[in-house]
Amino acid sequence: MTNETVTVSIEVAADPAIAFDVFTSEIDAWWLRGPKHRFKPPWNGCLRFEPGASGRLLEEYADGSSFVIGKVQQWKPGERLVLSWRLPVFAENETTEVDVRFEAIEGGTRVSVEHRGWHALRADHPARHGLAGRDYEYMKAGLWAENLMALRARLERGRVDRR
């Protein structure tokens, strides 16, 4: 049995403060769209962080409704963001945790995401899509990797504007 923790990292050509800012304030611009990456139909909601230690990550919809994806537990600009994480198929008491770290490296920042707590969900939970163990970890890691690549592309497009 694995612990079903997913860890994905990517290097970006921006300093940690800028990487954190784009990750949080521009999440809707870089986070991929569609049923694979958005949270509720019609799969085109707007993602938005309420900044700060008591903030939330929301998906907001054209009809004025919203879904709270997570609540911020740590908000340290340029360093770390930790938030609870839930999907629409989670029961009220079910949650996982996302820990995003921004580490200065030569030429930019290493953005690392650790998504943990999946082991607490029952084996037949709909969020598992019929997968377990490493297969489930690989699926979740792939989703995070796709989004982090989109973050890097966003930072590369806007690099001139942010210097």
Q: What is the pLDDT of residues 121-135, one digit of tens each?
A: 888 888 888 888 788
Tell me how far apart the alpha carbons of residues 31 and 74 are, in angstroms, rounded to a whole number. 21
Per DSSP, helices labelled H in 37-132 are none
Share of the chain above pLDDT 70, in %: 96
Q: Does 163 score more than 80 pLDDT? A: no
Q: Does 111 score more than 90 pLDDT? A: yes
Q: In the block, which residue shows the tokens 């938030």?
A: 83
At the topology level, CATH places domain 6-162 in Alpha-D-Glucose-1,6-Bisphosphate; Chain A, domain 4 (3.30.530)
Tell me how far apart the alpha carbons of residues 83 and 96 are, in angstroms, rounded to a whole number. 9
* pTM, full prediction: 0.92
Give, to the nearest 10 degrees, the angle between helix 16-25 and helix 133-162. Answer: 110
Q: Does 97 score more than 50 pLDDT? A: yes
The answer to whether 80 touches 103, Cβ cutoff 8 Å, is: no
Q: What is the pLDDT of residues 54-95, one digit of tens each?
A: 999 999 999 999 999 999 999 999 999 999 999 988 998 999
Residue ranges per structural domain of the chain: 6-162
- Cα atoms in the 13 Å half-sphere on the side-chain side of 92: 0
